[in-house]
Amino acid sequence: MFGAGAVTIGTFLRPAVARPTWPEGNSAAVSLTYDDGCDSQLENVSPLLDDLRLKATFFLTIENMRARQADWVGLAKKGHEIGNHTMTHPCRLSGYSAEQFRREQIDPAERYLDTNFGGLKPRTFAYPCGFEGLGRGATNKRVQSYLDVLRPTFLAARTVNGLPNDPRDVMRQRYLLNGFEPTYDLDDPRPAFTYLKKAIDHGHWAILIFHEVLPARRSAGDTSTSVHRTILEHMSRQPIWCAPLRTVFSHVAGTTELP
Ligand SMILES: [Zn+2]
């Protein structure tokens, strides 16, 4: 009896909204996200997004982008989303208490973005280096500590791992949304094609992550302009709704039947 009950509960938690409705008759959704506030995104990404009429999410690290603040404000005015990627992009998080992380990395970045960008709030967040734990101790405790910092301030947060997001899981996973860095290991468009196909086949939400976009790849994490263009042009031909993270999240939050 207990076993049968467990199966029933599992079914109940995943309601029969097999394929959510995506705007404009599309089969899936995709958000393009660009991390770190790299100059190369101003030079090599923004013009291509204009050409293809796409809107993206830029997760700014304040110390990286300050020198070109006016250019970033200009980019935001085109309708791109600006998200928070901390003040200094710390990747060693064991020494932070939740309070210290909020005080040094989250709140000042929010104030800076409020002052210089305005825009819709709450913003979205991306984890620097994809690290999802804060402070010391067991993994669960560190993850919980980070979530406790993010929840009061942000609408949602993006990690750097996982398959396209099932809309039925998005509210539960809103501070741990899956993202994918298609060119992290290889400057090759095919992993992105495969990932997008998975999203389309299942009606899920793909979140692509890019860092530096340069004429030629220099190191892991870089994407060449030609591969970046190939991915975006391919994506534009697919039945997939492309919108910033905040926009897709809001769509899912408003339309998905939740348990
Ligand atoms: Zn980053």
Candidates 33, 37, 29; CA nearest to 57 is 33
CA–centroid distance, residue 36 to ligand 1 (Å): 5
Ligand 1 center–CA 128 separation, angstroms: 4
17 within domain boundaries: no
**How many A from CA of 89 to the centre of ligand 1?**
6
The CATH number linked to 106 is 3.20.20.370
Q: Using the mean position of ligand 1's atoms as its centre, give its distance from the Cα of residue 209 in Å.
A: 10
Burial of 71 (0-12, 13-18, 19+ CB in 10 A): middle
In a domain, 70, yes or no: yes
Q: Is 162 a domain residue? A: yes
Q: Are 205 and 31 in contact (CB under 8 A)?
A: yes
H helices of 203-259, in order, are 225-236, 245-255
Are the CB atoms for 128 and 89 separated by under 8 Å?
A: yes
Query: Ligand 1 mean position to 18 CA, how many Å?
Result: 33
Nearest to 193 by CA among 30, 14, 15: 30
Ligand 1 centroid from CA 34, angstroms: 9
User: Of 39, 32, 49, 82, which Cα lies nearest the Cα of 215?
Assistant: 39
Cα 11 to averaged position of ligand 1 atoms, centre (Å):
37
> Looking at the whole model, is its pTM more than 0.85?
yes
Does residue 52 sit within a domain? yes
Distance 37 CA to ligand 1 centre (A): 9
Q: Would 212 be classed as within a structural domain?
A: yes
In a domain, 6, yes or no: no
114 Cα–ligand 1 center, Å: 20
- How high is the pLDDT of residue 120? 87
Rounded to whole angstroms, how far apart are CA atoms 19 and 257? Answer: 11
Distance in Å, CA 44 to ligand 1 centroid: 18
Two tokens at 19?
């394929």
Q: 77 C-alpha to center of ligand 1: Å?
A: 22
- Of 53, 123, 31, 46, nearest in space to 85 by CA: 123
pLDDT tens per residue across all 259 residues of the chain: 333 434 444 444 554 444 568 999 999 999 999 999 999 999 999 999 999 999 999 999 999 999 999 999 999 999 999 999 999 999 999 999 999 999 999 999 999 999 999 988 999 999 999 999 999 999 999 999 999 999 999 999 999 999 999 999 999 999 999 999 999 999 999 999 999 999 999 999 999 999 999 999 999 999 999 999 999 999 999 999 999 999 999 999 986 554 3
Tokens of 49: 């997004």
In angstroms, what is the span from residue 129 Cα to ligand 1's centroid?
A: 5
- CA-closest candidate to residue 85, choices 112, 119, 67: 112
Q: Which residues contact 250 (CB under 8 A, 6 or more apart)?
A: 155
Span from the CA of 19 to the centroid of ligand 1 (angstroms): 32
- Domain tally, the chain: 1
Q: What is the pLDDT of residue 88?
A: 98
CA 38 / ligand 1 centre spacing (Å): 10
Q: Is residue 20 part of a domain?
A: no
In terms of DSSP H, where are the helices of the chain? Answer: 2-13, 39-40, 46-52, 62-65, 69-77, 98-101, 107-116, 139-150, 190-202, 225-236, 245-255
Cα(124) to ligand 1 centroid in Å equals 14
For residue 14, tell me if it sits in a domain: no
CA of 234 to the centre of ligand 1 (A): 25
* Residue 105 Cα to ligand 1 middle (Å): 13
Q: How far does residue 56's CA lie from ligand 1's centre (Å)?
A: 16
The answer to whether the beta carbons of residues 252 and 167 sit under 8 Å apart is: yes
Q: Which domain, by its residues, includes 191?
A: 26-255
In the reported structure, the alpha carbon of residue 201 is separated from the centroid of ligand 1 by a whole-number distance in angstroms of: 29
